[in-house]
Amino acid sequence: MLIENETPALTIIAAQIVKVFYPFILARTETGQYLHLQLSDREQQDPLFWDSLRSILQAHLWVPIGQHYHQLLDDGWLQPTTVTPV
């Protein structure tokens, strides 16, 4: 089943990171809307997180963002896997 057919997909939007400057991240959605992303305290203090975001910015990758709270999602586009017995 495609993820577009799932109800949770309605709360996930695709965005490109356009600016990374501590402690702010600015992203642009597919519709051109700009979002200020909300970060947890742990994310704000994690240097690896900031390095990763700079790499995502340079690569022009699209990332999943929660529509309501404007937070990065770590598994937003993954489908749950179902194991079928052999």
pLDDT for the residue numbered 1: 38
Instruction: Check residue 12 and give left, alpha or beta (phi > 0: left; psi -120 to 50: alpha).
Output: beta
Contacts of 54 (CB under 8 A, 6+ apart): 20
Mean pLDDT along residues 33-49: 94
Residue 8 pLDDT: 54
Domains, the chain, ordered by start: 3-66 (2.40.50)
The answer, yes or no, to whether residue 5 has pLDDT greater than 60, is no
> Band of the pLDDT at 61, cuts 50, 70, 90?
very high
pLDDT bucket at 83, cuts 50 / 70 / 90: low
